[in-house]
């Protein structure tokens, strides 16, 4: 498993998902309402055909700041979280975790934690359970190649224009703090 320091970020937790395997395959089940404090706005999926694809780091500010549950349903990803919350003991730090279809782990991300990932395999599918709707006016991208010094495991990567031109982490911290 790649770096698994994600539990070092205050409030972020990796929890196992119930999973049963037999000759037919795997059946997994979890309760997003329990994990997201009874509030579930939407469930989204990200399909990524090419290894090395980087998405993020993304966050939303109030009144659309969101809690997230992130699971890798197919393939594998190097998942990264970064703490924007000034009251947190881990403010300004980032951590990573490998999520994959066989470890049956989901990550809970509280409000104020930016999220991104890099696909490690072809055809990776990531599921998100989100507590609030998407708001383009309140959504921001931090450049994942910027000043956080993240060592992405695959050096040949694919990145959207939005993410490549994203703000630096210091700007993200200021935007988040100003929204409180």
49-98 pLDDT per residue, tens:
999 999 999 999 999 999 999 999 999 999 999 999 999 999 999 999 99
pLDDT band at 5 (very low <50, low <70, confident <90, very high): low
Domain span holding position 122: 6-179
DSSP single-letter state for residue 142: B
pLDDT digits (tens, 9 = 90+) for 144-178: 998 898 999 999 999 999 999 999 999 999 999 99
Q: Which of 58, 97, 108, 115 is catalytic?
A: 58
Active site residue 128: yes
Query: What is the domain count for the chain?
Result: 1
Compute CA 125 distance to the chain's CA centroid, rounded to the nearest angstrom: 13
Answer yes or no: is 126 within a domain.
yes
Answer yes or no: is 60 within a domain.
yes
Burial class (CB in 10 A: 0-12, 13-18, 19+), 61: buried
d(CA 70, CA 108): 7
Answer yes or no: is 165 within a domain.
yes
Q: Which of 97, 115, 128, 134 is catalytic?
A: 128
Answer yes or no: is 10 within a domain.
yes
Answer yes or no: is 153 within a domain.
yes
Active site residue 115: no
Answer yes or no: is 89 within a domain.
yes
Answer yes or no: is 1 within a domain.
no
pLDDT at position 3: 44
Find the CATH number of the domain harbouring 53: 2.60.120.10
């Amino acid at each position: 498993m790649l770096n698994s320091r994600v539990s070092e970020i205050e409030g972020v937790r990796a929890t196992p998902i119930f999973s049963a395997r037999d000759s037919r395959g795997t059946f997994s089940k979890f309760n997003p309402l329990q994990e997201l404090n009874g509030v579930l706005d939407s469930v989204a999926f990200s399909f990524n055909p090419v290894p090395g694809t980087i998405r993020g780091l993304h966050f939303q500010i109030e009144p659309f700041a969101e809690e997230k549950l992130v699971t890798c349903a197919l393939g594998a990803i190097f998942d990264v979280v970064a703490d924007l919350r000034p009251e947190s003991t881990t403010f300004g730090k980032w951590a990573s975790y490998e999520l994959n279809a066989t470890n049956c782990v989901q990550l809970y991300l509280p409000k104020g934690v930016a999220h991104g990932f890099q696909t490690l395999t072809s055809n990776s599918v990531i599921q998100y359970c989100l507590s609030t709707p998407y708001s383009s006016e309140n959504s921001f991208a931090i450049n994942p190649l910027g000043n956080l010094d993240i060592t992405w495991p695959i050096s040949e990567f694919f990145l959207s224009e939005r993410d490549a031109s994203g703000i630096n982490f210091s700007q993200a911290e200021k935007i988040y703090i100003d929204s409180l």
